[in-house]
Structure 1
Amino acid sequence: MTRWRDVQAVLFDLDGTLLDSAPDLAHAANLLRQRRGLPPLPLQHYRPRASSGARGMLAIALDLHPGDADFETVKAEYLAAYEEVMLRSTAAFDGVAELVQALAGAGMPWGVVTNKIERFALPIAARIEPLPRAAVVIGGDTTPHPKPHPAPLLEAARRLGVPAQRCIYVGDDERDIVAGRAAGMRTVAARYGYLGLEPNVQAWGADAHIDHPVQLLNFLEMP
């Protein structure tokens, strides 16, 4: 197995990579359905689209899409509902705490780059273990462009003081891999994440794939 000996930092996507946030994202969507006299949908309907945030949840819950006349209004309603419940059930995936503990023990800084806007990303990162130990948290509105643009990843590397080409980016969506490659980083696809409705993970072009968070350590040359 290839080991990357020159890695100086590891960056992660948030939803579907570090955190299983699908239950709370789905709960907020079902609250909107309830207000409209509709029955709740089971979590498995929502889970594949959880990495798409409000856009994905509204598509499943209400068949509502960007460009629809009332999309922005309902999106604002959804985000307000989500803000009320976002810490209800969200937790780190099994193995994440072990992974970041190993990184810390090796003196390897790590951080979060997510398309979740700072309004949600920063409180979540401050309160859900082990995220308070992240060296940097970049939200979807921290820079002018969210992923798949490389700007958020490059900003994270800048704040860490690490060259982008010495970073790894780990994510569970194709846009994560696109952004990481555009930033000049090595990329790892988290196959245990949400992945989308019809994923073809092999076609994303990631440098490596993992099926459990701790497997990332296999690619790192650490003391």
Structure 2
Amino acid sequence: MNIKGVLFDLDGTLLDTAGDMGAAANHVIASLGLPILSDDVLQCTTSDGSYALLRAGIDEALIEQHGIEELRGQMLAFYGQNLCHHTRPYEGVPELLAWLNQYDIPWGIVTNKPSALTLPLLAELPLFEHCRVTVSSDTLAFKKPHPAPLLFAAERLVMAPEQCVYIGDHKRDIEAGRAAGMTTIAAIWGYISAGEDPNNWQADHQTPTVLSLFNWLKDAVDVKR
């Protein structure tokens, strides 16, 4: 295996953002007099994004009455002002990124989060200081599961797609990575949607914890000592 670069999804892979994303969704849901979403629902819905979170707590009649884009705008406005109150890196992520930095292994992020939210969030967390490339949902005309964002990220790292591994907690991450010709790893610790079976994603590997991912990378990545 000739892995030289590492690309990550963000929400549910490097960062547990469910607390802040959930607070934003629940802000809108509560404003309509509805019961807020439970932590369990947030954990299995956050990776599907803002639309899914709102639909998990608001019935279709109210969504049609208020307009999903209006509700989403309210949610993202609240989230944009409260990006990092509860958000934390998963256990082991700081050590993993420090190891990549120590050995000068290029790494980056490919997320379906809009850049207006991604970039300010990363700026609040010093562990992302050495991220070589960040691709958000609006960086290109396409987003995951299209392979274009991953191919763009590999190009920015100055390496071939087959020299990269992509790690994510959603089926679309694995689909995008496979379509781009990268080695793919399913992050089983992340926001696995209810009813989803990662065994069906056809990832090259699955890792249940960040530590197990760390151990895999130590064996697989081409480290120049």
Q: TM-score, normalised by structure 2?
A: 0.91
Q: Judge conservation of contact 2:29–2:58 (CA < 8 Å) in 1.
A: yes
Alignment of 1:163-174 (within 5 A): 163-174=160-171
Q: CA deviation at 1:115?
A: 0.1
- Pairing 1:128–2:125 present: yes
Regions of 4+ moved over 3 Å:
none
Counterpart position of 2:183: 186
Give the 3-state SS of the residue equivalent to 2:49 in structure 1: helix
- Pairing 1:75–2:72 present: yes
Deviations 1:152-207 (A, max 9, x none): 11111111111111000000000000000001100000000001111110110000
Counterpart position of 2:98: 101
Q: RMSD in angstroms over aligned alpha carbons?
A: 1.7
For residues 78 and 58 of structure 2, the distance between their equivalents in structure 1, rounded to whole angstroms, comes to 15
For residues 125 and 52 of structure 2, the distance between their equivalents in structure 1, rounded to whole angstroms, comes to 23
Q: CA deviation at 1:214?
A: 2.7
- Pairing 1:87–2:84 present: yes
Give the 3-state SS of the residue equivalent to 1:133 in structure 2: coil
Q: Judge conservation of contact 1:92–1:128 (CA < 8 Å) in 2.
A: no
**Cα distance change on mapping 1:154 and 1:199 into 2, 3 Å:** same
Alignment of 1:1-223 (within 5 A): 4=1, 6-64=2-60, 68=64, 70-219=67-216, 220-221=220-221, 222=223, 223=225
Q: CA deviation at 1:25?
A: 0.7
For residues 91 and 117 of structure 1, the distance between their equivalents in structure 2, rounded to whole angstroms, comes to 19
For residues 103 and 156 of structure 1, the distance between their equivalents in structure 2, rounded to whole angstroms, comes to 17
For residues 133 and 60 of structure 2, the distance between their equivalents in structure 1, rounded to whole angstroms, comes to 34
What letter corresponds to residue 41 of structure 2 in structure 1? H
For residues 126 and 137 of structure 1, the distance between their equivalents in structure 2, rounded to whole angstroms, comes to 12
Give the 3-state SS of the residue equivalent to 1:123 in structure 2: helix
Q: CA deviation at 1:40?
A: 2.5
For residues 126 and 168 of structure 2, the distance between their equivalents in structure 1, rounded to whole angstroms, comes to 19
For residues 189 and 95 of structure 2, the distance between their equivalents in structure 1, rounded to whole angstroms, comes to 16
**Cα distance change on mapping 1:64 and 1:160 into 2, 3 Å:** farther
**Cα distance change on mapping 1:64 and 1:166 into 2, 3 Å:** farther
Q: Out of 169-178 and 71-80, give the one that drifted further.
A: 71-80
Q: CA deviation at 1:32?
A: 0.7
Give the 3-state SS of the residue equivalent to 2:134 in structure 1: strand
Q: CA deviation at 1:132?
A: 2.4
Q: Judge conservation of contact 2:150–2:177 (CA < 8 Å) in 1.
A: yes
Q: Judge conservation of contact 1:192–1:212 (CA < 8 Å) in 2.
A: yes
For residues 214 and 112 of structure 1, the distance between their equivalents in structure 2, rounded to whole angstroms, comes to 19
